[in-house]
Amino acid sequence: MALSVPVTWSDAHRLHAPTTAVWIGVAIDADELPARADRIRGELEDAGAAVIDAEQHGDDALLAVHDAGLVDFLRTAWKHWDEAGLPDDPGQRDVVGYIFPTPGLLGGLEPRVPEALSARTGAWCFDAMTVVAGGTWEAARAAVDVALTAADLVLAGAPLAYACCRPPGHHVTHSAFGGSCYVNNAAVTAQRLRDSGVARVAVLDVDAHHGNGARAIFRERDDVLTASVHVDPAAGWFPHFLGFADDGGTANLNVPVAPGSGDEVWLDAVSQLVRAAQEHGSEALVVALGVDAAGGDPNAPLDVTEDGFREAGRRLGGVGLATVVVQEGGYVLDIVGRLVRATLEGFEDGRSR
Ligand code: ZN
């Protein structure tokens, strides 16, 4: 049966195409590539899904969850970096942080935004891995429009809409980007649903890494539940410092799972997320759909199968709530499309039962 989920889209994602990422000071091949979204779109079109171009939205929803300083930094950083000549001297083409205002550095003082452009990145970014390249802002801002267009469809009565967006967003907090993410598309979506009259919303994050961004943004609120299944940060995985079961928060559930967990353990965790949304009284879901929990993805060791993703979709769809699915991670080009397709087919199957 053909997929009936509308797929929202912007060609502008291709403007964010860094060829390298920086990890422990070494330039490595980037893997958050335009081909990811293009492969997903192709697979969903093959399955019969209709693709809808994103409509432009104002900054209201963006500024409802992010510091205006972060948004302004992202909007202008690469232009200023380029104008300052840093691509030629010392030869760094992309914006990258080098000093970070950790509590240890500040010793209790409030951080100030540095004058030096080369240092300013550290005020808004929490890692030295996530570079801002020419075109990054345009792509990240378009991803917000893709997510909000999917939210519009659900608010207009669609039971499910899928935002085929990149770069991903789920690691971005109120005022800091990182983890290959720049703007928190899922959090923006959840806030838009709230501002449009949905009283209680759940952000369910099944990416292989902790959805620390939404968790931080909604940490002190009970109208937006944040729940995440992810590889145990204690086992040595990003974001390392966060994502533990006892991290706390007002309406938050973290379900860390061990490396090598596979379908059974991971799906049990997905069911815990579903139950948390039901207990929360959520009236709509935002699913942060990373498919990097799949076996073979070098960015996480969870070994979930395509059938596992299909079953996760069934369980999420079985909740029977209006749902916006927002694309996050998933880096193996040969399988990323199939995994998203399986999840959405499972969702529609679960929904119809
Ligand atoms: Zn991930």
**pLDDT at res. 183:** 98
Active-site annotation, residues: 171
Name the strands in the sheet holding 252-257, side by side, starting at the edge strand that comes first in the sequence. 51-53, 7-9, 160-163, 322-327, 284-289, 201-205, 224-231, 252-257
> For the residues 130-148, what does the mean pLDDT come to?
97
CA of 293 to the centre of ligand 1 (A): 8
CA of 76 to the centre of ligand 1 (A): 27
CA of 341 to the centre of ligand 1 (A): 18
Nearest to 303 by CA among 342, 343, 257, 337: 257
pLDDT at 32 over 80: yes
CA of 156 to the centre of ligand 1 (A): 30
CA of 200 to the centre of ligand 1 (A): 25
pLDDT at 1 over 80: no
Confidence of residue 25 (pLDDT cuts 50, 70, 90): confident
Judge contact between 5 and 303, C-beta under 8 A: no
Confidence of residue 322 (pLDDT cuts 50, 70, 90): very high
Nearest to 328 by CA among 347, 316, 311, 343: 343
CA of 290 to the centre of ligand 1 (A): 6
DSSP string across 267-315: HHHHHHHHHHHHHHT-SEEEEEE--TTBTT-TT----B-HHHHHHHHHH
Nearest to 288 by CA among 343, 350, 345, 222: 343
What is the rounded average pLDDT for all residues in the chain? 96
DSSP conformation class of 189: H
> For the residues 151-162, what does the mean pLDDT come to?
98
Q: Considering the chain, what percentage of its residues have pLDDT values greater than 90? A: 93
Residues 7-53+139-352, CATH architecture: 3-Layer(aba) Sandwich (3.40)
Dist. CA 341–CA 343, nearest whole Å = 5
CA of 211 to the centre of ligand 1 (A): 8
Q: What is the pLDDT of residues 252-294, one digit of tens each?
A: 999 999 999 999 999 999 999 999 999 999 999 999 999 999 9
pTM value? Answer: 0.97
CA of 182 to the centre of ligand 1 (A): 14
Domain edges within the chain: 7-53+139-352
CA-angle at 136, arms to 58 and 99, nearest 5°:
110
